[in-house]
């Protein structure tokens, strides 16, 4: 399958996925939810993750409406610093209030974006991209933090194969921006990334540490990674390790240098 085009009319798969993921996340944040529950493996609590998500959805909605919003410097490190600063300034932690904001701002994004061309350039928290890719970014962000909240509360998460596939346009755009130059130093290799089922396929090519991401595989791949879509997204977001995915058969690796699969996630810094 080719990379899904990020279309943002209100009944498009991407717009529908954004609203549904936000509403599912909001459904986890009822009046009986304890905002002090810690996110496993993270520094944030459920209340802090929900507050961050509400703020981010509002920011994305503003960008979609044509309002400029400075947030960090377009790097993973700058984004982390901006996240910390915004959370310190925004003290609301009531889960029900935050859940309402998460859903409301996601719907506002879709409404604003539907009135514009998906190819229109905008500037998001990770720098310039088109509006459709920003929508893919918003979905990725909601799914990542919604997953964290669901795991912390021991509730089912909202990531499925279709929604994971819709995050690929953003992931392709983000990879060069979150490259770990230390771990990628000197690497010369071509990865052929394939999502199982009818999922997208794309190439990630390193030329002496420099990275390009393309829809077409430019040469014979050194490592072909075939991944179950949900697992691929969780690995991309730093929520699952390659070793665990390989052990469970959720990803497979082949090609001339299949051992490069184990190295792949460490080549990036999840923002």
Per-run averaged pLDDT (10 residues), the chain, 271 residues: 70 94 97 96 94 97 91 78 91 97 98 93 93 97 98 97 96 95 96 94 96 93 97 93 88 96 91 70
Same domain, 49 and 162: yes
Is residue 113 assigned to a domain?
Answer: yes
Same domain, 57 and 85: yes
Same domain, 136 and 259: no
- Three-class secondary structure assignment of the chain: CCCCCCCCCCCCHHHHHHHHHHHHHHHHCCCCCCCCCECCCCCCEHHHHHHHHHHHHHHHHHHHCCCCCCCCCCCHHHHHHHHHHHHHHCCCCCHHHHHHHHHHHHHHHHHHHHCCCCCCEEEECCEEEEHHHHHHHHHHHHHHHHHHHHHHCCCCCCCCHHHHHHCHHHHHHHHHHHECCCCCCCCCEEEEEEECCCCCEEEEEEECCEEEEECCCCCCCCEEEEECHHHHHHHHCCCCCHHHHHHCCCEEEECCCHHHHHHHHHHECCC
Is residue 117 assigned to a domain?
Answer: yes
Beta pairing partners, 227: 195, 251
Calpha distance 239→169 (Å, rounded): 19
Beta pairing partners, 192: 203, 224
Same domain, 162 and 30: yes
Calpha distance 262→122 (Å, rounded): 34
Calpha distance 70→224 (Å, rounded): 38
- Give the pLDDT confidence score for residue 76 in this predicted structure: 74
Phi, psi of 142 (to 5 degrees): -65, -45
- Give the pLDDT confidence score for residue 172 in this predicted structure: 97
Same domain, 120 and 183: no
* Residue whose C-alpha is closest to residue 201's, from 222, 216, 179: 216
Same domain, 121 and 21: yes
Beta pairing partners, 193: 202, 225
Is residue 2 assigned to a domain?
Answer: no
Same domain, 160 and 200: no
Overall domain count for the chain: 2
Q: Of 133, 167, 201, at which residue does a domain stop?
A: 167
- Give the pLDDT confidence score for residue 79 in this predicted structure: 84
Is residue 72 assigned to a domain?
Answer: yes
Calpha distance 21→8 (Å, rounded): 15
- Give the pLDDT confidence score for residue 75 in this predicted structure: 74
Query: Any long-range contacts for 70-73 (C-beta under 8 Å, 24+ apart)?
Result: 71/125, 72/125
Same domain, 27 and 154: yes
Calpha distance 241→239 (Å, rounded): 7
Is residue 7 assigned to a domain?
Answer: no
Location of structure tokens 């700058």: 78
Q: Of 167, 195, 222, at which residue does a domain stop?
A: 167
Cβ neighbours around 88 below 10 Å, total: 8
Same domain, 134 and 239: no
Q: Of 142, 167, 192, at which residue does a domain stop?
A: 167
Query: At 188, which CATH number?
Result: 3.30.1050.10
Same domain, 23 and 157: yes
Cβ neighbours around 243 below 10 Å, total: 10
Same domain, 160 and 206: no
Is residue 6 assigned to a domain?
Answer: no
Query: At 21, which CATH number?
Result: 1.20.120.450
Residue-range definition of the domain harbouring residue 17: 13-167
Same domain, 28 and 118: yes
Is residue 188 assigned to a domain?
Answer: yes
Is residue 63 assigned to a domain?
Answer: yes
């Amino acid at each position: 399958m080719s990379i899904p085009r990020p279309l943002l009319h209100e009944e498009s798969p991407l717009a529908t996925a954004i609203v549904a993921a936000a509403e599912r996340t909001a459904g986890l944040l009822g009046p009986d939810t304890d905002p002090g529950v810690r996110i496993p493996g993270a520094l944030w609590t459920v209340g802090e993750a929900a507050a961050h998500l509400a703020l981010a959805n509002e920011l994305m909605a503003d960008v979609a409406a044509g309002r400029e919003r400075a947030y960090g410097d377009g790097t993973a490190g700058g984004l982390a610093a901006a996240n910390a600063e915004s959370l310190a300034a925004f003290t609301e932690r009531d889960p029900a209030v935050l859940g309402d904001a998460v859903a409301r701002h996601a719907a506002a994004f879709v409404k604003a974006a539907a009135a514009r061309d998906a190819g229109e350039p905008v500037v998001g928290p990770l720098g310039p991209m088109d509006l459709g890719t920003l929508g893919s970014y918003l979905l990725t962000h909601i799914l990542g933090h919604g997953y964290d909240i669901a795991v912390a509360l021991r509730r089912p998460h909202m990531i499925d194969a279709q929604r994971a596939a819709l995050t690929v346009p953003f992931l392709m755009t983000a990879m060069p921006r979150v490259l770990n130059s230390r771990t990628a130093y000197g690497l010369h290799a071509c990865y052929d990334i394939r999502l199982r089922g009818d999922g997208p396929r794309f190439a990630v090519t390193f030329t002496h540490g420099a990275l390009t991401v393309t829809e077409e595989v430019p040469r014979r791949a050194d490592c072909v990674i075939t991944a179950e879509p949900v697992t691929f997204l969780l690995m991309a977001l730093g929520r699952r390790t390659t070793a665990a995915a390989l052990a469970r058969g959720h990803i497979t690796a082949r090609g001339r240098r299949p051992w490069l699969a184990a190295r792949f996630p460490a080549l990036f810094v999840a923002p």
